[in-house]
Structures are given as C-alpha cells and as structure tokens.
Chains A and B, each alone.
Chain A
Amino acid sequence: MEDLLQYLFSGISIGSVYAVVAIGLSMLYRSTELINFAHGEFAMFGAMGLVTLWGQFKLPLPLAFVLTVAGVSMVGILFERFAIRPIKDPHPISLVIITVGASIVFRGVAMVVWGKDPVALPSFSSHGSIEIAGAVIVPQSLYIVAAALVLAGSLHLFFRYTLQGKAMTACAVNKKAAWLTGIPSARMGLFAVLISSGSGAIAGIFIAPVTMNTYDMGTMLGLKGFCAAMIGGLGSLWGAFAGGLLLGILECFGAGLISSGCKDAIAFVLLLLILYLCPGGLFAQKQADRF
C-alpha cells in the first residue's frame, strides 16, 4: 500500500515535468495549429538561463526568472519572424521539419554556450522531502505542479476573457474570417509563439532543480511533452496537464509493478490503447487533421 502511494507520488513528480512542458506546446497548437518540435529546447533554454543567472551570477530568483523568460521569449520572436513567417502557404509537415531544424540549431548553440557537462541546481526552497503515510515527495515537484496549474489556468482565462485571447482563437479557427473582421493574423501568430516560448521557459525554470541540466535535455522533454499533449487532446490546456500527469503515473506504476526496463514501453502501450479508444485524445477539442 505504502509502495503504491510512493509510485503515485513518483508519477506525479515525473508527470508534472511532462505536463508543464506540454501546456506551452498545446497552447501553440491551439492558436496556430503548429506543432513545435523545438519546444523542448525552449524549456532547455529556460533551465540553462536559470543555471547561469541564478546558479552562477547569483541574481535573486525572481529577477533571474523574469530575465530568463524575457530572454527565451525574444528567441521565440526571432524564431517566428525568421523561420515560421517567411514561408508562404506552408505544408504543415514542412513547418514541422523547420522546427526540427530549429531544435538542432538551439541544441548546437546551447552546447557551444554552456558546454557539454550537466549542471545541477538546488531546489527553490530548502525544505526537506515531505512525507505522507510513508511515501515521500520533494517540494520542488509540488512547485512544478503548481506552476503547471497556474500556467494552464491563466492561459485558459486569457483565451476565454481577453480580447487578445479571443482574437487568437478566432485566428486559429479560421484565419481568413478573422482577417476579414480586422484581426491582424500575422501579429497573432507572433504573439502565440511569444507566449508559447515564454511558457516553455517557465517550464524549464521549474524543472531545472529536479533534473540534471544539459544542452540536450530538450529532446526528451519535447518528446514526452508532445506525447502528453497528444493524450490530453491537442489544443486543450487542461488536457495537456492531465496527459502529462497520466504519462508520468503510468510510467511509475509500470516501473514499480512490472519492469523498470520496460516502463516507457508499458506507458506507450497504454497510451496507444487510449488513442485507439478516443482518437482525439482524452479532452478532444476538434479534429487535428492537418498533414
């Protein structure tokens, strides 16, 4: 019994990482129908930015946080302006390959800037691990869950209640119709990438203390984040959150109850089954059929 609770807690700590990455990915899809394979790299930039500003330069955490998010959002803007927007009438798969290319470039830049060695960061608070009925969870994991909830919640409110957010949704539903009503769709696209890369950075910042930060950590984060967003239903913010936690929990129960070598395989088999049963993900919004 105690073990099961521990598996659940472990699953939450792993799943929260996937969830917080998935939210930015899902948000971008919701507004631009673009899947960004470089999203994990934005998270990596967030984590590495924190390593430099907080870990190395010893800036106060809030300042390091703001600077990192701002910096990564700038990268996001450049990325949108020079790599996504110039393409006229793109095939979605061409855009996907562009983001794959971008992820390689970002990884390469990070390798040159931060080197190849992993770096560890301390937790945001100096609390020890929290024990509940014999099972243990670290406070940082709870912070990640909180960050994911706040992120999903505020994005949800943003889309629901602000003019900007509604305009972005309109663009996503029908670009031309949105344009006809006077919504500058190009600017909306830029804005969506800006928010998405910013939330990627936030994800990276919160993850940094629980993982070992390297230039190539983004690949795993992006891949698992993509899976989480898919399971939840692309475009659904709460779905991304739930999908991430589910993926993490499945992995841990797979590792705990069956075999740790096959934990990813077990999680993926179950995910495929979910996908077969509800082909649009758990919180399906609309058909995701581009390609």
Chain B
Amino acid sequence: MDKKLVHNLLFIAVVAVTGMVVENIYLLQIMTFIGINTLLALGLNMLMGYAGQVSLGHGAFYGIGAYATAYLSGTLGISPWAALVCAIVLSVAVAFVVGRPTLKLSGYYLGMGTLGFGMIVHILFREAGSITGGASGFVGIPMLTLGPLSFEGGRNYFYLVWTVVFGAIFLCKRIIDSKTGRALAAIHGRENAAVALGVDAHALKLNIFMFSAALGAMAGFLYAHFVLFISPDSFGFMASVKMVTMVVIGGMANVWGALIGAVVITLLPEVLHGFADHEMIVFGLILMGVMIVMPQGLTQGVIERYARYKKRA
C-alpha cells in the first residue's frame, strides 16, 4: 500500500482511538481546541508557506466566522448549519474585497496591510454593539445538533472538529499536489519567473487568501458553537500573532507543521501553568529556543535531526 496513505490512515486511527479511550472531558476539550487551532494554522500555512504571503490579520476571518454564525443562529434563529454556509461565504467575500488591493503589497507592507485590516474588523466587533454584543461579548449562541445527534460538549464535539480537520488536511493536500500547488511553488520560488511562464500570480494569491479565510471562518464557527460565547478580544491582534506563531513553530509549507504548531501552542500554557507568574518568561524562552535551534520549525527540524542521527548510526 502507498506509504502516504498508511500514514494518513494511521493518523486518523490514532485520533479516533484517542477520542474513544479518553474519558476525561477536560482532555477532550483541550484536544478540541487543538483541532480548532489546527484549522486556523492550516489556512494560514497555505497562505504563508505555499503562497509566501504573510498575514497579521487572520484573526479577523476567525472572528467573522464566529460572529456571523452567532448573529444568524443566535439572534435571527436560523439553523446553525445554514449559518455556517453564510459565514464561510461572507468570510470569502470579505477576503476577496480586502485581498484584491492588499495582496498587491509585498513583504512587511503586506503584513502591515493585513494588520490594519485585522484591527479594523476587531474594532467593528467591539463597536457594532447592537449586532455583536459589543465588548461584553455575545451571549446566546445555540448548541449544535444534527438530527438526533447532540454536540453538547465532550466527545461528539471532539469528533466533529477532528472530522473537519481531516477534511481540511485532505483538501490542502489536494491543492498542493494539483496544478495550482505547483504554480504556487513557482511563485514562492521566484514570482517574476512564474509570471513569465503564464501564472496569474495575483489571482492565485487571492484564491489562496480566500481559501484560508474560509478555513478561518470554519474554525470560528466551531469555536463559537463550542464555547457558546464570543467576545472581540478572542479575535484581535494577539490572536493573529498566535496563529502566525503556530504556523512558524510547526514549520511552514508543511501540512503536518500546522498540526504540530497548534498542538505545541495550545498545550504549552496548560503545561506551564505551574510556573505561575513566571509562565510568560518560560513560554517566551521556549518559543525563542525552538526558533533558534530549529529556524525551519519543529517538523523540519525534527526530520533533519532524525536523518542526521540515522546517518551517524
């Protein structure tokens, strides 16, 4: 059998068994957060790792997804699943409108442009109190149900989130292995050369931007219906920086990097809790240490180290 397929199946099996074996709801909830963060990192990883475009405002799409479903299903009372579709469409539409001019910027200026966009959206969440509930947050998001199946916290939600994650990973891999993926690689290598070969670089970047916005909105939807409460601060500048950190720590241009980044950044604060007031120092030092020792991210770093070890042995 294909080695890749085995890996994928193995991964799915591990997650499925984990979901069955783990009884503790706290652990399941942590893993649910890991799944949501993986979705965020996956989308941003496509943009940063493959299209080579950095975004410091991706928290905005996460928030748009969450607030759209909150408003539609909470205030207007339509089915959350219909709200999901609307949330994704809205997020993609916003990405289109914003991406068209912004993606013409490059390097740090693109970072600045997306940062500005993220800040504006964050402020809108806070100021449009009649729709979003303002700074105090939005209360009254309904629980997800699917026919007789209720996603009331715990196990079912864990499976829902991870099914979506599998789907997203599958989709990302398909894109990377397709013609689009190769065109992306060409842009990432040298944009001018790619354009000379007939790649419409701007359109491609925009498409990936929209795709990552859709994944962000999906994550926002899952977050909103899991916690059943959202407030603007979860989607601000710090959230965007956290997403970039997950991508870079895990390793750019690697689908598994997104997963590993999400695991590390979600688990670290839980593990470091014992340091109390020194938690921030330890967290920052670990972040720096990883980047100093493995500037390519954990995934690449560990693979390289393993290869070197094997060679020596």
- Chain A residues close to B by CB (< 8 Å): 35, 83, 86-91, 93-98, 100-109, 111-112, 223, 226-227, 230, 234, 259, 261-262, 264-265, 268-269, 271-272, 275-276, 279-281, 287-291
Contacts and interface: CB of A to CB of B under 8 A. Distances in A.
Interface string B164-185: 0000000000000000000000
Contact of A104 (B107, B124, B237, B287): B287
Contacts of B241: 100
Given A91-B295, A112-B277, A101 B284 contact: yes
Interface string B245-285: 10011001000000000000000000000000111111111
B124 A265 contact: yes
B104, B105, B112: residue with the most chain A Cβ atoms closer than 10 Å? B112
The 3 closest A-B pairs by CB, nearest first: A108-B280, A104-B284, A101-B287
Contacts of A272: 102, 113, 116-117, 120
A275 B108 contact: no
B288 A98 contact: yes
B116 A234 contact: no
Contacts of A35: 108
B248 A97 contact: yes
Given A94-B291, A97-B244, A97-B248, A230 B108 contact: yes
A94 B120 contact: no
Contacts of A109: 281
B109 interface: yes
B123 interface: yes
Interface size band for B: 35 or more
Interface in B270-310: 277-288, 291-292, 295-296
Contacts of A95: 291
A90 B293 CA distance: 11
Given A101-B291, A265-B119, A287 B107 contact: yes
Interface string B97-133: 0000110111111111101110110011011000000
Interface in B11-43: none
B48 interface: yes
Contact of A268 (B109, B110, B116, B127): B116
Contacts of A230: 108-109, 112
Contacts of A101: 284-288, 291
Contact of A111 (B52, B123, B280): B280
Contacts of A223: 237
Nearest to B248: A97
B107 A102 contact: no
Contacts of A291: 52-54, 106-108, 110-111
A290 B53 CA distance: 10
Given A103-B284, A108-B279, A287-B107, A227 B123 contact: no
Given A262-B127, A268-B119, A275-B105, A97 B112 contact: no
Contacts of A106: 284
B278 A108 contact: yes
Given A101-B287, A272-B120, 15 more contacts: A87-B291, A91-B295, A100-B287, A101-B288, A104-B284, A105-B281, A108-B283, A223-B237, A261-B126, A262-B127, A268-B117, A275-B116, A276-B104, A280-B109, A288-B107
B119 A264 contact: yes
28 contacts: A35-B108, A83-B288, A96-B248, A97-B248, A100-B241, A101-B284, A102-B284, A105-B280, A105-B284, A107-B284, A112-B281, A226-B112, A227-B115, A230-B112, A264-B123, A265-B119, A268-B116, A272-B116, A275-B112, A276-B104, A279-B109, A288-B107, A288-B108, A288-B109, A291-B54, A291-B107, A291-B110, A291-B111
Given A271-B116, A291-B108, A104 B280 contact: yes
Given A223-B237, A275-B109, A269 B288 contact: no
B159 to A, nearest CB: 32
A112 B278 CA distance: 7
A98 B291 contact: yes
A138 B241 CA distance: 35
B114 to A, nearest CB: 10
A89 B115 CA distance: 27
Contacts of B102: 272, 276
Contacts of B113: 272, 275
